[in-house]
Amino acid sequence: MIPLKKISDRNFLVSGMLILVYTVLCLVNMRHFLAGRFWAEEGRDFYVQLMDAHWVSLFTHLHHSHLELLTNGIVYVSTLVPLVYAPLITTYTSFFFQALPVLFLIYFRSQLQLHPLPLVGLLMILAGMPQADEVLANSINLHFHMAFLAAIVLILPASNKSNLWLQRLLLILAGTSGIPTIFLLPCFLLKAYIQRNREATIQSVIMLICTLLQACLLMQDVAGTFNRGLSVDPVTIVLAAFAQQLLAPLYIFSSFAPWIHSNLGNLAVVYPIAIVGSSCFIVLLRWTWQHGPIYIRYLTIAWFSMVLMSTVTAIGPTASLITDGFGSGRYFFAPNAILYFIVAATVSRHLFYRSENGDDIVAIGVKAMAVFGLIVIVACLYFGKKYVTSGPSWVGSLQITKDACSNRVDIWPAGWSMRFRKTVCEERW
């Protein structure tokens, strides 16, 4: 029998290594802005509007007619330090919250039956898939990470009381920090109906309250809410999901997505590809449903809900989502994270926890193929990586603005800027 202390030490070491892998991969992707940055609306809208606001604005400031409590809080805290250091607050606080789903996966990996090797592959995909670029270490896109976190909470078994309270608080934060999380409401209601236990009921009530709150806020601006290029065309939705979820993560195939977009008017091209895409998802999800842990069924429903609602409610024409993962890719970060979590969990249970009596030659061969597939995916993600997002150095941009005694500071991505009510040289920055 292995001593409990050795098991504990090994688990601690494995957890530390997994956290290190994810952190290093993200820092590599953040290498161009390690000194901090403001990203798009984070600087242009949130910082400028909150810099002179009362702390009550944390609960009243709305963006596109909905509440983003986490973004409000992070940006508000950044306004309390000198401007030159403010992006450090937003960048690294956002990175901490972005890492919460990863920490949950690592901490609860035994309960989720996640073997370390498939989990490493999942972490590499979370950090390296093309949709990850736009949601990396910025508060304006944290709601996509929080939606993934809510999906993890959905399938976690009831544990000790402190963990349950933490999960409830994180669900409240996720539900009040953007729209994507509330797309999971049907999943929580279904879980409460099937399990009929106290914790599932509490979580479903939390999600219901958050959904009603966001819905009431959105209804205050009906014209703006529904002026998002909404589309429910099933073929377009399938093509967008196929391009973003199956083609984009493999860069060798990603060029097919723009080709599909350019042929949307050609039904002889569109319908066969939609059928192929649907078939791929059906085969993949049927395999995971049969061979994965029981919680895969909740995750599959969560994935379907996220794909459908993220595609339908994305800003701009739905057809614009049929890309190689960079154009509007943020809408597919959470669906992709859930899909590849499903695959990692199924691979773990089917290949690595398959037999208690040792592996036969077939199982060993399949494991070897799984490892080879992981290497191929990682090679596609990191050796074919395209950095399409860029922007100026924050310190350099701020200095240029000071020298010009201007009120305009350039931020990320290139072409975005934030404008203050007074010139920078007038303020005590």
Based on the domain organization, do 126 and 33 belong to the same domain?
yes
CA 315 vs CA 38, 312, 330: distances in Å: 21, 9, 11
Domain membership flag for residue 19: no
Residue type, 250: L
Residue 60: pLDDT band by 50, 70, 90 thresholds? Answer: very high
pLDDT band for 242, please (50, 70, 90 cuts).
Answer: confident
Are 213 and 342 contained in the same domain?
yes
Listing DSSP states for 329-397 in one string gives: GGGGHHHHHHHHHHHHHHHIIIIISS-TT---HHHHHHHHHHHHHHHHHHHHHHHS---------HHHH
Q: Residue 310: its pLDDT value, please?
A: 85
- Number of separate domains in the chain: 2
Amino acid (one-letter) located at 403: D
Q: Which of 115-119, 136-140, 160-164, 378-382 has the lowest mean pLDDT?
A: 378-382
Residues 375 and 399 in one domain: no
* Domain annotation covers residue 9: no
Task: Report which of 63, 137, 43 is spatially closest to residue 409, judged by C-alpha positions.
Answer: 43
CA distances from 55 to 61, 72, 89, 323, 422 (A): 10, 10, 17, 40, 21
Q: What is the model's pLDDT at position 191? A: 93
Residue 7 has pLDDT above 50, yes or no: no
| Section 381-401 average pLDDT | 73
Predicted TM-score (pTM) of the model is 0.89
Asked if the model's pLDDT at residue 39 lies above 50, the reply is yes
- 309 shares a domain with 209: yes
User: 305-352 pLDDT, tens per residue?
Assistant: 998 888 888 777 777 777 766 667 788 899 999 988 998 888 888 776
pLDDT at 4: 41
3-state secondary structure (DSSP) of residue 235: helix
Mean pLDDT of 31-40: 90
Share of the chain above pLDDT 70, in %: 80
- Among the residue ranges 21-35, 144-158, 270-284, 311-325, the one predicted with the least confidence is 311-325
Q: How many CB atoms within 10 Å of residue 387?
A: 10
Residue 357's pLDDT band (cuts 50, 70, 90): very low
pLDDT at 425 over 70: no
- What's the pLDDT band for 5 if we cut at 50, 70, 90? very low
Residues 415 and 352 in one domain: no
- Regarding whether 411 and 341 lie in a shared domain, the answer is no
Residue 92 above 70 pLDDT?
A: yes
> What's residue 343's pLDDT?
86
pLDDT-derived band at 378 (thresholds 50, 70, 90) equals low
Is residue 193 located within the same domain as residue 172? Answer: yes
Flag whether 17 is in a domain.
no
Do 46 and 69 belong to one domain? yes
Confidence band, pLDDT 50/70/90 cuts, at residue 100:
very high
Position 368 confidence tier, pLDDT thresholds 50, 70, 90: low
* Co-location of 152 and 250 in the same domain: yes
DSSP 3-state of 420? coil
Q: How confident is the model at residue 80 (pLDDT cuts 50, 70, 90)?
A: very high
Q: What is the pLDDT of residues 162-213, one digit of tens each?
A: 788 999 999 999 999 999 999 999 999 999 999 988 999 999 999 999 999 9
Residue 10 counted as domain residue: no
DSSP string, 38-57: -BTHIIIIIIHHHTT--TTH
**DSSP H or E segment with residue 417:** strand 416-419
Query: Do 119 and 18 touch, CB atoms closer than 8 A?
Result: yes
Residue 231 lies in a domain: yes
- pLDDT for position 373: 62
Instruction: Decide if 256 is inside a domain.
Output: yes
User: CA 211, 217, 220, 224 torsion: positive or negative?
Assistant: negative
For 132, the 3-state DSSP assignment is helix
Residues 218 and 256 in one domain: yes
- Cα separation, 75 vs 94, in Å, equals 10
Residues 111 and 205 reside in one and the same domain: yes
Q: Which of 66-75, 380-389, 418-427 has the highest mean pLDDT?
A: 66-75
The range of the structural domain enclosing residue 412 comes to 394-426
Residue 1 lies in a domain: no
> 361 with 398, same domain?
no
Helix (H) or strand (E) segment spanning residue 14: helix 4-29
Amino acid at 201: T
Q: Percent of the chain, pLDDT > 90?
A: 40
pLDDT surpassing 80 at residue 122: yes
| Averaged pLDDT, 282-311 | 84
Task: Judge whether 338 lies within some domain.
Answer: yes
Q: Tell me what the pLDDT averaged over the chain comes to.
A: 83
Q: Which residue has the higher pLDDT, 324 or 107?
A: 107
Return d(Cα 337, Cα 127) in angstroms, integer. Answer: 10
